Amino acid sequence: METREEHYASMMQAVQRYAPSADLEEIQKAYEYADRKHKDQLRKSGEPYIIHPLAVAEIVAEIGLDTDAIVAALLHDCLEDTDASFDEISHMFGQTVAELVEGVTKLTRVQYSTTEEQQMENLRKMFMAMSKDIRVILIKIADRLHNTRTLQYQTPAKQISKSMETMEIYAPLAHRLGMQKIKWELEDVSLQYLDPEGYQQIIDYLHENEASAQNFMNAIQSKITDRLASVGIHGSIYGRVKHTYSIYRKMRAQNKTIDELYDLYAFRVIVDNIADCYNVLGHIHDLFNPIPGRFKDYISTPKPNMYQSLHTTVIGSQGIPFEVQIRTWEMHQTAEYGVAAHWKYKQNVGEGSEKEFEWVRRLLENQQDTEADDYIHSLKVDMFDDEVFVFTPKGKVMSLPSGSTPIDFAYAIHSAVGNTMIGAKVNNRIASYDQVLRNGDIVEVLTSKSAKGPSRDWLNICRSNQARIKIKQWFKREKRDENIIRGKASFESELRRIGVNPEIIQSEDVLPMVLKKVSFDCLEDMYAAIGFGGLTAVKAVGRIRDELTKAAKATTPKELLNLNKQQPTVDASGVIVEDIGSCMIKFSRCCTPVPGDDIIGFITKGYGVSVHRKDCPNAKSAMDPSQSGRWVKVTWAESPDATFTTALEVDSNDRDGLMLDVATILTSLRLRMNEMSARSVGSGRALVSLVFQVHNLTELQNVMARLRGISGVSAVRRAEG
C-alpha cells in the first residue's frame, strides 16, 4: 500500500506531464489544506482519507484540466466531510474553486434512486451543473472512477448498487462527453461485480487465447506499418482486443458465446493531418477486403460529443474481421478524454455557452414538459444511444438517435415541418412513417398546409425525445377540448381502479386539496395535461391517493355502491361486477389477482369492491355468516391491453448475480418492474421478492417457469399476505 507521499508524488508527476502550465505552488497549498482537514479520517481500505482526493486530482490532471480543477479535485470532499466552509475555500483559493467544490458536493449528495421521478431530479441536477461549468461533472466522473477502482473494500450490497449506478449514469455520461477511456474502465469494473461469472468467462477466454491474438495483431500491425512507410506516411499503429464489457454486450445482444463472435479486434492508426487519414483509408482497403456498409466518416460528420475518426471493418488474410479507426493526434486526444481534451486546446473551461453543449440545455428544456418515465427513457435515447447520420435533399447532414424514423427527421428540421407532414421519401422512394433510417439515407419530408397535424400514434413511432416533445406540445396547444375529455376519462378510470369514487373530487372539501397537490389552477387544466400526455393519470392520482382514500373512508358501503339490481357493470379495471351499478373496484394486495384467476368481490367500508383470488387465505377467513351480505360475484372482462400488479417470491441459493439473473428475465420479457428486493434467510438461502405487471395468468405462469430455470432456484410461488 503506497504512502500519501508516494501518492502526492505520482499526482504531481501527472500534473507536470499532462497540465504543464498548472500552478504547482497552488496545488501544493491545496494538498496541504486538504491533508489537514482530512487528518484523522480513514477510507474503507484503512488508508488515510487524503489518498482519495490525491487519486481524483491525478485523474483530473491526466485528462488535462487546469489548476482550478486540480485544486477543486483535492478539496472536493472538504465541504461534505470536514469543517471547511465555502467562504474559507473562496478566501484561500478563489471564488471559482469554491464554486467547483460546492458543485461537486451537491452532486455527491444526490442519491441514486430506482424511482423515475427521483432519478429525473438527480439527472437534472447533473445537467444543471454541467451547463454552468463542465469541470464540475468531469471532477465528479474522476471521483466515481477512483471509487470504482476501490470497490473491493465495500460490502457486496454496496458493490452492486454502486456498479448499477455507474452503469446507469456515469458510464453513459462519460460516453456522451466523449471520454471513451474512462467509460471503458467504468463499464469493465462494474461488470466484474454485476456478473462476476460472465466477466470471468471472458477474462479466462482472452487469457487462454492471448498468444494467438497477439500474433494476429502483430501480423496486421506489421503489414500496415510497412505499407505506410513505403508511401511516406508517418503514423503510429496500435492493436487491441476490444474491452470486456463491449464483448459481453455483443454476446448478450447476438446470443452467442465468445468463440462465436468475430469482431474482437480493433486497430488504431494515428497520423499527422486529415489528408493522411483519407490516404491511409485507401491503403487499408487496398491491403484488406472491406466489409460493405461498415464504413463511417466521423471526420466530416463529427459526433455530438466532438468525436472524429474514420471507421472501417475489413477482413484479414486469415478470414478474421477487424475494425480500423483512423484519426489525427488531436482527434485521438478528444477520443480518449472528450470534452476535457477540447477544453485543453481551447482553454475555455468555464464557459457554458459553447455550441458543443447545446444538447445539455436541450435536455434541461425537455424536462420541463416531460413526465418522469418519459424523461428517463428519452435520456437513454438522446444522450446514451448511438447516432444515425442522414441527409436532406440539399445535402445537409442531420444527426438522429439510432432507430429514428421520418417523423424524427421532420421534427429535427422544424416543428412546423413535422406538424404539416403528410408523407416522406427515403432515397427517392415513398417511405412509411415507421421506416427506420440508415446511415447515408437521403430523406425528403412531404408537407401540406391543409394537413390536420400529427397523429397520437406518432408518439409510439418516433424515437427522439425532441419529436415526442414537439408532438405533445401540438396536442397541448391545438386540442385542448379533446384533451380535457380524454384526460377526464383517464383520471376517473384510474380513481375507480384504486377504489375511489370520482364524485369525491367535486367535494368542496376535497377539490382545493387536489388542485394544490397536482399544481394546477383548475381541474380542466389537469385533465388537459393528462389528455395531451404531459402527465399520466397514474401519476396524478398517485399524488393525491392518500388524501382521497381518507375522504372515502367516511362513506358507508351502501352509500358507496348502488346495490339495486342492474345490468352487470364492466369497470375500467377489467372486472365485471354482477348486480351492481357504478362502483369502485380495487385489487387486493394480499393475493394480487390477474385475469385467469378465479376471483370473488368483497364490499369494503370506504374502498368499494375489493377483488380477491378465491384461494386467498384472507378471503377464506372472511367468509363467515356475518359477512355474507358483503360478498359479490365478479368475473373478468375482455381487456387484452390492460396490465395487472402481481407479486412473486423466489427461493434460491444465496449467491452473487442472483438479483441480476432475475432482473434480466423480467427485462427480456419486457415486463414493468415495480419493486425488487432480496434477503438472506439462513442456511445459504435467499428470498427474492418481486412486484411487477402482467397481462394475465398465462403470462405470469410463463414468468414463473422462466424463473425456475435460474441456477440455484428451488421454488417460485405467488406471494400471499
Structural domain includes residue 714: yes
Check: CB of residue 583 under 8 Å from CB of residue 560. yes
Do 387 and 339 lie in one domain? The reply is: no
In the numeric block, which cell numbers belong to residue 29? Answer: 497549498
Q: What distance in Å separates the CA atoms of residue 713 and residue 710, rounded to the nearest whole number?
A: 6
Structural domain includes residue 511: no
Give the bridge partners for 576, in sequence order: 570, 635
3-state secondary structure of 82: coil
Do 300 and 381 lie in one domain? The reply is: no
Structural domain includes residue 565: no
Do 312 and 363 lie in one domain? The reply is: no
Q: Burial of 577 by CB count in 10 Å (0-12 exposed, 13-18 middle, 19+ buried)?
A: buried
In this prediction, residue 533 carries a pLDDT of 77
Grouped pLDDT means (10 residues each) for the chain, 721 residues: 88 92 95 93 91 96 92 94 92 94 78 50 59 82 95 89 84 82 94 91 92 92 94 93 90 82 88 94 91 84 80 86 93 77 48 47 49 48 60 80 91 90 91 87 89 86 86 79 78 80 73 81 84 81 75 48 38 62 71 89 70 84 62 79 86 84 79 80 88 89 91 90 64
Nearest to 241 by CA among 284, 270, 212, 269: 212
Which entry of 2, 32, 80, 503 is annotated as an active-site residue? Answer: 80
**Residue 255 backbone dihedrals phi, psi, to 5 degrees:** 55, 50
In this prediction, residue 608 carries a pLDDT of 67
User: Residue holding cell 405487471?
Assistant: 693
Structural domain includes residue 563: no
Contacts of 394 (CB under 8 A, 6+ apart): none
Q: Would you report the helix, strand and coil content of the chain in percent, each value rounded to 5?
A: 55, 15, 30
Give the bridge partners for 431, in sequence order: 424
Return the CATH number at 23. 1.10.3210.10
Specify the pairing of strand 235-241 against strand 265-271.
antiparallel
Give the bridge partners for 689, in sequence order: 649, 677
User: Residue holding cell 393528462?
Assistant: 530
Nearest to 634 by CA among 593, 691, 590, 589: 593
Q: Report how far Cα 93 is from the mean position of its chain's Cα atoms.
A: 36
Return the CATH number at 657. 3.30.70.260
**Which residue, 346, 369, 397, sits at the end of a domain?**
346
Structural domain includes residue 197: no
Check: CB of residue 175 under 8 Å from CB of residue 183. yes
* 81 is annotated as an active-site residue: yes
Predicted TM-score (pTM) above 0.85: no
* 80 is annotated as an active-site residue: yes
DSSP 359-388: HHHHHHHHHHT--HHHHHHHHHHHTTS-EE
Do 230 and 361 lie in one domain? The reply is: no
Do 182 and 68 lie in one domain? The reply is: yes
Contacts of 153 (CB under 8 A, 6+ apart): 43, 44, 45
Amino acid identity of residue 145, one-letter, is L
CA-angle at 229, arms to 223 and 233, nearest 5°? 115
Q: What distance in Å separates the CA atoms of residue 8 and residue 14, rounded to the nearest whole number?
A: 10
Do 325 and 398 lie in one domain? The reply is: no
Structural domain includes residue 105: yes
Q: What distance in Å separates the CA atoms of residue 181 and residue 202, rounded to the nearest whole number?
A: 19
Do 274 and 169 lie in one domain? The reply is: no
**Which residue, 135, 156, 186, sits at the end of a domain?**
186
Q: What distance in Å separates the CA atoms of residue 652 and residue 712, rounded to the nearest whole number?
A: 5
Do 330 and 361 lie in one domain? The reply is: no
Q: How many CA atoms lie within 13 A of 358 on its CB side?
A: 5
Structural domain includes residue 621: no
- When divided into structural domains, the chain yields a total of 4
Do 339 and 369 lie in one domain? The reply is: no
Structural domain includes residue 14: yes
Do 24 and 138 lie in one domain? The reply is: yes
Q: How many Å from the N-terminal Cα to the C-terminal Cα in the chain? A: 52
Which entry of 23, 35, 81, 478 is annotated as an active-site residue? Answer: 81
In the numeric block, which cell numbers belong to residue 621? Answer: 377467513
Q: What distance in Å separates the CA atoms of residue 175 and residue 137, rounded to the nearest whole number?
A: 13
Return the CATH number at 423. 3.10.20.30
**Which residue, 430, 462, 478, sits at the end of a domain?**
478
Do 249 and 170 lie in one domain? The reply is: no
Contacts of 520 (CB under 8 A, 6+ apart): 526, 529
Check: CB of residue 686 under 8 Å from CB of residue 658. yes
Return the CATH number at 261. 3.30.460.10
Q: What distance in Å separates the CA atoms of residue 691 and residue 685, rounded to the nearest whole number?
A: 20
Check: CB of residue 607 under 8 Å from CB of residue 586. yes
Contacts of 283 (CB under 8 A, 6+ apart): 224, 227, 228, 231, 233
Kindly report the number of other CB atoms within 10 A of residue 179's CB atom: 28
In the numeric block, which cell numbers belong to residue 658? Answer: 442472483
Check: CB of residue 601 under 8 Å from CB of residue 632. yes
Q: Which residues span the domain enclosing 361?
A: 357-478
Q: What beta strand segments (E) does 383-465 contain?
A: 387-391, 397-401, 421-426, 429-431, 443-447
Do 211 and 256 lie in one domain? The reply is: yes
